[in-house]
Structure 1
């Protein structure tokens, strides 16, 4: 007998609580960084949970944990997220999407519903930034964008990313086999916490994500002249930090229409009694508009150069990384709208300012994301929280969306 699949909210909460117990000792929050022993143990639990939900489970060459429910026709429906955290991170950023995906598969299996498309559930390896300087490791491998240069990158101990992947259950010799064929995926849907305050402030339980911001990161090096702080007149100084300070304020000024942040600043020699001879800053701009990002990069380079010229300081601006904005699929958004309205729930349409595995998966086919509220807009911290009612609403929206996409 076929029953209408329905999310078990209490079961999902139990799964979230169980996964949260896998954390690194003597660290703040719910820390579970990629390649840590806690992360390795947690993914054994995830693989076991996938198997218990009726999924056929494998670990690919890049260390992704992939579960599958069979379908009767071609084309993959894919859902999932990641289970690693930042240092001092929370319980919901990533794990919600993985555990909701497992719950969706479990509900479909238990109901007797016959899928037309194969359903794949993925716990992507290492979405968060790591010591190797490569985020979204697992989804890059599936999208075919994990390069030999990435794999050769080293952490502070000298270990390569390839070696770390092997320690996490992957096989560097088979990493190329982890890539999926472009066009083989009918749709990818990721459930995620908003990581911002908009949903909570509006009292709306869900958001359909319209796009994911591109991220341009830059470094600026200001080379002035170190000098005695007490004996060098103010009009004779070539103060690298003062030039950098102007550039920091330029980031803030240029950010109108998107966001801009200077998150790191280093000063040399770093003594209170020495005029700074060198300063280095790292900044980023985020927007769903590529033209806006290009204009901000040019504007920042110009502002930094002008600040240096005014103070007799040599300025060098370098592009560190560039991630393209992604627009989610109109077809997937339409399926989400039908699914959410069918549940009798309200939703907003929001753009994501944070990066996600969805960005990489967009290279393979249509993608979409669903957001649920973050209490206080807080994320990447121990206080990260999404209430049980929103967890259940998000998982229900994910299930209804998967079924709507499967019925196309």
Structure 2
């Protein structure tokens, strides 16, 4: 019989979060543990040891993913996969991704302590480098597992001019073998990721759990505004071709686009850079970095044309030229309805309330969805805060998430046919 999370489980989860958070870059704010950094390298040795302590067979694959295996009774069956990531953004928090890794390890431990052996192998994965990084590419480990990391990706350069491929090599991974991930090339039964919500909905509604319906699509762009440099004291306002003013209009246009989304949609300008550093020169060249996100593919597909047209028109009114570089981080990915149903049934069996909920953040689950039917379980985030030092989820909520994860994995394990998408 499966034991419900005990005080010992609560203690292990709380202690795990505290111990893992100790691996951080002390020169940066919050809990900073970026991919390829020395704190990240040290933390991953801790994570592998934590998996072994929980009774998992552990290896690191060629893409840098840490994989812990709990052997099932029927090795020929496609495996179940769960997990998340342990890297953070610069100035980040202690729970994003970490909950999914520590929770999955605890789920495997609980199964063993309860004397329950799954039919299928259970793979617990700490994916390499899920967060966006100085190379502008997220989900490195899961992209490799899904065979989606490209040679062009490895040629991306950071602010120092170092390529992503060189960063892998410096970290001890062979750039030519990053797609050599045997466990991901085998048939997989399903993938389930436990995660903090990173938003306020569950907390506002007083709910302990959410079951994800879809993961947002993300479109990003860089707008480059070209005006004319002039003396800031002698050039009249009507004679200026002010690239910064055009960029300011564009920032407001991006915000208005997000505010006008009919259902789920957000739009953010994250950075504005001027080539001129002089305080008395009208800016002539400015770059603006922005993104739009939604789980509504119809709205998202129309954003590019709407924003390009509006920003160009406003810039032309100011005598400023503008060019655009658009890129798709990921398209809208829907969780498999069958996995949602199984997770819902598992939570119902626990007697806990829950709600279907979209994810406004991207996750390793996006790429794992190309390999197996995918589902996600959310727990509340205090104040909806994430990607900041104030990020917080209670140990009680994490333990509840682990309960839901265990129930979901057990039910998926007994499903003979592969869940449908």
Q: Give the TM-score, by structure 1 length.
A: 0.95
Distance, in Å, in 1 between the alignment partners of 2:176 and 2:254 is: 43
Shift of 1:153: 2.6
Gaps of 5+ in 1: none
**Is the 8 Å Cα contact of residues 63 and 168 (structure 1) preserved in structure 2?**
no
Do the aligned partners of residues 170 and 163 (structure 1) sit closer, same or farther apart at CA in structure 2, a change above 3 Å counting?
same
More moved, 182-191 vs 253-262: 182-191
Distance, in Å, in 2 between the alignment partners of 1:401 and 1:109 is: 16
Match of 2:180, SS?
A: helix
> Aligned to 2:129, which of 126, 129, 154?
126
Deviations for 1:107-155, whole angstroms, at most 9, x for unmatched residues? 1122221211111000000011112222110010111101112223333
Aligned residues: 406
Distance, in Å, in 1 between the alignment partners of 2:337 and 2:38 is: 40
Task: Give the alignment of 1:167-246 within 5 angstroms.
Answer: 167-178=170-181, 184-246=187-249
**Is the 8 Å Cα contact of residues 182 and 365 (structure 1) preserved in structure 2?**
no
Tell me, yes or no, if structure 1 residue 326 matches structure 2 residue 329. Answer: no
Distance, in Å, in 2 between the alignment partners of 1:393 and 1:336 is: 13
Gaps of 5+ in 2: 416-421
> Aligned to 2:271, which of 259, 264, 270?
264
Provide the residue aligned with 2:255 in structure 1. 252
**Is the 8 Å Cα contact of residues 63 and 169 (structure 1) preserved in structure 2?**
no
Distance, in Å, in 1 between the alignment partners of 2:315 and 2:363 is: 36
Distance, in Å, in 1 between the alignment partners of 2:172 and 2:114 is: 33
Deviations for 1:20-74, whole angstroms, at most 9, x for unmatched residues? 1222223321211111111111111111111121211110111110011122141
> Aligned to 2:90, which of 84, 87, 90?
87
Match of 1:116, SS?
A: coil
Distance, in Å, in 2 between the alignment partners of 1:172 and 1:261 is: 33
More moved, 274-283 vs 326-335: 274-283
Distance, in Å, in 1 between the alignment partners of 2:19 and 2:276 is: 48
Provide the residue aligned with 2:358 in structure 1. 351
Distance, in Å, in 2 between the alignment partners of 1:112 and 1:297 is: 54
Do the aligned partners of residues 289 and 237 (structure 1) sit closer, same or farther apart at CA in structure 2, a change above 3 Å counting?
same
Tell me, yes or no, if structure 1 residue 374 matches structure 2 residue 381. Answer: yes
**Is the 8 Å Cα contact of residues 183 and 365 (structure 1) preserved in structure 2?**
no
Task: Give the alignment of 1:309-324 within 5 angstroms.
Answer: 309-324=316-331
Shift of 1:179: 5.9
Distance, in Å, in 2 between the alignment partners of 1:15 and 1:169 is: 26
Tell me, yes or no, if structure 1 residue 160 matches structure 2 residue 163. Answer: yes
Match of 2:149, SS?
A: coil
Shift of 1:167: 4.2
**Runs of 4+ that moved beyond 4 A:** 179-183
Deviations for 1:150-172, whole angstroms, at most 9, x for unmatched residues? 22333344443233334445333
Provide the residue aligned with 1:38 in structure 2. 39
More moved, 398-407 vs 260-269: 260-269
Deviations for 1:173-203, whole angstroms, at most 9, x for unmatched residues? 4322126556712111111111111111111
Match of 1:117, SS?
A: coil
Distance, in Å, in 1 between the alignment partners of 2:14 and 2:152 is: 40
Distance, in Å, in 2 between the alignment partners of 1:181 and 1:383 is: 35
Do the aligned partners of residues 322 and 131 (structure 1) sit closer, same or farther apart at CA in structure 2, a change above 3 Å counting?
closer
More moved, 214-223 vs 285-294: 285-294
Match of 1:165, SS?
A: helix
Provide the residue aligned with 1:391 in structure 2. 398
Tell me, yes or no, if structure 1 residue 4 matches structure 2 residue 2. Answer: yes
Tell me, yes or no, if structure 1 residue 110 matches structure 2 residue 110. Answer: no
Distance, in Å, in 2 between the alignment partners of 1:380 and 1:350 is: 20
Shift of 1:104: 0.8
Match of 1:68, SS?
A: strand
**Is the 8 Å Cα contact of residues 61 and 173 (structure 1) preserved in structure 2?**
no
Deviations for 1:79-117, whole angstroms, at most 9, x for unmatched residues? 000001111211100111000110111111222212111
Distance, in Å, in 1 between the alignment partners of 2:25 and 2:221 is: 32
Do the aligned partners of residues 172 and 20 (structure 1) sit closer, same or farther apart at CA in structure 2, a change above 3 Å counting?
same
Match of 1:350, SS?
A: strand
Shift of 1:296: 1.0
Provide the residue aligned with 2:16 in structure 1. 15
Distance, in Å, in 1 between the alignment partners of 2:308 and 2:210 is: 36
Match of 2:325, SS?
A: strand
